[in-house]
A and B are shown apart, each in its own frame.
Chain A
Amino acid sequence: DSGVTQTPKHLITATGQRVTLRCSPRSGDLSVYWYQQSLDQGLQFLIQYYNGEERAKGNILERFSAQQFPDLHSELNLSSLELGDSALYFCASSVTLARGNYGYTFGSGTRLTVV
């Protein structure tokens, strides 16, 4: 167990629907990162939150949004789902890396299938 908890593990939904993915970071970590992993694109950075505030944004679609709550857990909301959104969605957490040279700790992911 990495200490980063993601729920649900699997999600099957129809096109046009909206889903929410949840992540609880490792104890003591203030940063949460969301990544999308598909077969042809690898791990793509979506967004980072640090202590409740958005810190960095990557290739996140306008249909996707995220937030980090006061207890530091984070949610990724995906709306108007398309078949191409089917992928593994990973959450990772860390202390701020700028202070050191260690990497993230990843959760086990949510497998989203859009049918």
Chain B
Amino acid sequence: QKEVEQDPGPLSVPEGAIVSLNCTYSNSAFQYFMWYRQYSRKGPELLMYTYSSGNKEDGRFTAQVDKSSKYISLFIRDSQPSDSATYLCAMRRYNTDKLIFGTGTRLQVFP
């Protein structure tokens, strides 16, 4: 079993929809949680990061962490065609540098 599980999609939604992307994990030692966005043929770029449980909001993006359920989410409000990309969750334990990534969910937002 992989440490981090993520539905690969693809997820296809109309412009303006609310998108929910999720990851589950098995290692309770993970403390830092991140979401990366990767456009085709580009490197991943950091979107959001959170420490431990709770919510964090940045513009149209909201990241949620539920450590009791070992479940993290990324919500995108008012989705735009420019949001079409692969979204990767990533996480790490305290005091280590190594990030463990999910396999990524491909999102398509159509006009």
Residues of A within 8 A of B95 (CB): 98
CB-CB contacts of B83-111 with A at 8 A, as 1s and 0s? 00000101010111111111110000000
Check A103 against B90 for contact (C-beta < 8 Å): yes
Which residues of A have CB within 8 Å of B88?
42-43
The residues of A that contact B103 with a CB separation of less than 8 Å are: 41-42
B97 touches A31 (CB 8 A): yes
The reply on A108 being an interface residue by CB < 8 A is yes
Residues of B at the A interface (CB closer than 8 Å) are 32, 34, 36, 41-46, 49-51, 88, 90, 92, 94-104
Residue among B42, B43, B49, B104 making CB contact with A103, cutoff 8 Å? B49
Q: How far is the CA of A4 from the CA of B42 in the complex (A)?
A: 12
Using A103-B90, A108-B42, A109-B43 as known contacts, say yes or no to A97 and B97 having CB atoms under 8 A apart: yes
Contact of A45 among B42, B46, B50, B98 (CB under 8 A): B98
Query: Complex formed: what's the CA distance from A39 to B103 in Å?
Result: 9
B34 shortest CB reach to chain A, Å: 5
In the complex the two chains form, is B101's CB within 8 Å of A43's CB?
A: yes
Residues of A within 8 A of B50 (CB): 101
CB of A42 within 8 A of CB of B101, answer: yes
Q: Determine which residue in B41, B43, B45, B101 has the highest number of CB atoms from chain A within 10 A of its CB, and name it.
A: B43
Given contacts A2-B43, A108-B43, contact A101 B97 (CB under 8 A): no
Cβ of A64 within 8 Å of any chain B Cβ, yes or no, is: no
* CB closest residue in chain B, given A97: B97
- 21 pairs from A and B in contact (CB 8 Å cutoff): A41-B103, A42-B103, A45-B98, A45-B99, A45-B100, A90-B44, A92-B43, A94-B97, A97-B32, A97-B96, A98-B96, A103-B36, A103-B46, A103-B99, A105-B46, A106-B44, A106-B45, A109-B41, A109-B42, A109-B43, A111-B41
